[in-house]
Structure 1
Amino acid sequence: MKSKDIEFRKARRSGMEDGCVEVGRDGGTVRVRDSKARDAGTLGFPVAEFRRFLARLQDR
C-alpha cells in the first residue's frame, strides 16, 4: 500500500502545528512519518512491536 493510501493521524494536542510524527496502519504494520516531509517515506513496525514501544513510553 502506498503512503498516500494510508490514513495517517497525529496527536490532537499538536493542533495545527507541523513538525509532528504521524502514524498510520497498513495491515499488520504501523507506518510512521514526519508531517513536514510526508513524501520522504515511512518507517514500518509490526503492530505488536509498536504497542510495546508505546507501553514503554507510558511507563516513564
Structure 2
Amino acid sequence: MKVAYYPGCSLDTTGIEFRLSTAWCASKVGLDLWELPGWNCCGASSAHAKDHLLSLLCLPAI
C-alpha cells in the first residue's frame, strides 16, 4: 500500500535514525512510503533555535 508522508526538515539530519527505522518498519508491514512533493518546512526548527520554551507550546488558532 502506498502511503504519503511529510518527512520534515530534520529526517535527513538530526532525525535520521527515525527516518531509517520508520522506513524499515513500513517495509515490514507492506507500506510503500511516498514523500509528499513540494512540502515546506513547518518552522519548528527555527522556533526552537529562537526560544525553546515557546517552541514547545501549542497555541490555538485565532
* TM-score range relative to shorter protein: under 0.3
Structure number having the greater strand percentage: 1
Report the TM-score when normalising by structure 1: 0.24
Larger radius of gyration: 2
Which of the pair has the greater relative contact order for Cα pairs under 8 Å at 6+ separation? Answer: 2
